[in-house]
Chains A and B, each alone.
Chain A
Amino acid sequence: MINLEAETRDRFKTSPEYKDLKQEQDLFKRRIQFIAFLTEKLKEEGVDAILVGGEAIDLYTAGNFATSDIDLLVTNRAVTEKLLNKFGFGKEVNGLWFNKDLNIVIQVIPEPYSGDPARLRKFRIKDFELRVAAPEDLIANRLYSKSNPQRDSEQAIALLKIFADSIDNTYLNKVAKRDNIEDVLAEAGEYASKI
């Protein structure tokens, strides 16, 4: 009997895209290149994907605020996981998908997207398009998160500083009010303006 999944995995391993990824020594570039490629393949399957969380911040800071895994929000988890499996990823006990060859870890997050879809930023990585959570939504998310206050605050401050000229403060304040983080946003904004 022919194992179709194994055959697809082998086909991916001999594809020009895979060769390209393996040749890329810079892990930051390799990650964004793969996630853009994956997003495109998901689109072909009718699945929308948005890069959120730490990897989105890593992208906006060009790898200076590195993260361990890639958070990808998708409209169809089952199709995404099937595709990851075809691309040589295995599911770990903690639910993360890991590809040892590429040294890439992905967390698949099901809908809904808590940010404003109209504000997503577009990136073009080689021939593939990638949609990324807006800085305003990432800032609010980091300040709301309680998982790692040191890291989350630093990332929020970094985005506030980097996008100081283009941030939509009206929208950000509205989100902060919704999430009850107005005080911490004001504090982070003040800190960002001082450094």
Chain B
Amino acid sequence: MLFGGKTRFAILEALAEAEQPMTAYQIAMTKGLDPAATYRCLTEFAEFGIVESKIKKRNQISYKLSGGTGKAAATFLRSLEQKTSESVDLEKWLSPEMQAERRAKIVRLEQLKSSFKGADETKGIEELMSKRVAGELSALIASSQIAFNELFKQEDGTFILRA
């Protein structure tokens, strides 16, 4: 999972906190991560537009969160931190089980509401999406894209499950 795992979470956290672009090595040192694993994750993030990279002097590559998905991921992290007093286990938060649990809560709430004021059909997309933690849907979508590409390769129009 894209945002699951300590390395990926720590990278996003480091970039969300940083005031200026950071190199993979700087991120690894700041968060106590393995530099090679940090570089691999950043390459993956860059591929999916979560981070933007720039080549600096002496061919050093620096990274910052992208304006779209990257900022959404950072917003999501901040929302989670505000929502829970404990440290956030992002992998658990984004797991299908937790998603289903949250969705069930939303549905239960909606059913309760609709028993008072009729069906939910007429609600706009913005209103429906406002029930999600900020940035959560965006994070899930980016996570889906990466996981799909990890699982399948495309050959002659067919998606083939990697061995």
Q: A residues engaging B (CB < 8 A)?
A: 28, 32, 60-66, 121-126, 129, 146, 148-151, 153-154, 157-158, 161-162, 184, 187-188, 191, 195
Is B15 in contact with chain A by the CB < 8 A criterion?
A: no
- Which A residues lie within 8 Å of B159 (CB)? 121-124
The 3 closest A-B pairs by CB, nearest first: A62-B147, A66-B96, A61-B144
Contact at B125–A191, with CB atoms within 8 Å?
yes
The prevalent SS among residues of B at the interface is helix
The segment from B21-29, B51-59, B82-90, B100-108 found at the interface with A is B100-108
Is B137 in contact with chain A by the CB < 8 A criterion?
A: yes
Closest to B121 in A: A146
Number of A-B pairs, beta carbon distance below 8 Å: 98
Contact at B100–A66, with CB atoms within 8 Å?
yes
Give the size category of B's interface with A.
35 or more
Contact at B137–A154, with CB atoms within 8 Å?
yes
- The A-contacting residues of B in range 116-163, CB under 8 angstroms, are 119-121, 123-126, 128-129, 131-132, 137-138, 140-141, 143-145, 147-148, 150-152, 157-161
- A187 to B127: give the CA distance in the assembly, Å: 11
Q: Given A61-B148, A122-B159, A126-B161, decide whether A153 and B140 contact each other with a Cβ distance below 8 A.
A: no
Give the Cβ gap from B60 to chain A, nearest Cβ, in Å. Answer: 31
- A65 to B129: give the CA distance in the assembly, Å: 15
- A179 to B97: give the CA distance in the assembly, Å: 33
- A62 to B151: give the CA distance in the assembly, Å: 8
- A148 to B120: give the CA distance in the assembly, Å: 9
Contact at B107–A148, with CB atoms within 8 Å?
yes
Contact at B99–A66, with CB atoms within 8 Å?
yes
Closest to A121 in B: B159
Is B10 in contact with chain A by the CB < 8 A criterion?
A: no
Is B110 in contact with chain A by the CB < 8 A criterion?
A: yes
Contact at B161–A158, with CB atoms within 8 Å?
no
Give the Cβ gap from A191 to chain B, nearest Cβ, in Å. Answer: 5
Closest to B1 in A: A64
- A158 to B132: give the CA distance in the assembly, Å: 14
Contact at B138–A195, with CB atoms within 8 Å?
yes
- Which B residues lie within 8 Å of A60 (CB)? 144, 148
Closest to A58 in B: B96
Give the Cβ gap from A17 to chain B, nearest Cβ, in Å. Answer: 15
| 16 A–B contacts, CB within 8 A, in A order | A60-B148, A62-B147, A62-B148, A62-B151, A64-B1, A122-B158, A124-B158, A124-B161, A126-B161, A146-B121, A151-B103, A153-B128, A158-B141, A184-B125, A195-B72, A195-B137
Give the Cβ gap from B21 to chain A, nearest Cβ, in Å. Answer: 23
Contact at A161–B125, with CB atoms within 8 Å?
no
- Which A residues lie within 8 Å of B143 (CB)? 64
- A64 to B142: give the CA distance in the assembly, Å: 10
Contact at A191–B131, with CB atoms within 8 Å?
no
Give the Cβ gap from B106 to chain A, nearest Cβ, in Å. Answer: 5
Give the Cβ gap from B160 to chain A, nearest Cβ, in Å. Answer: 4
Q: Which of A148, A162, A195 contacts B145 (CB 8 A)?
A: A162
Contact at A32–B72, with CB atoms within 8 Å?
no
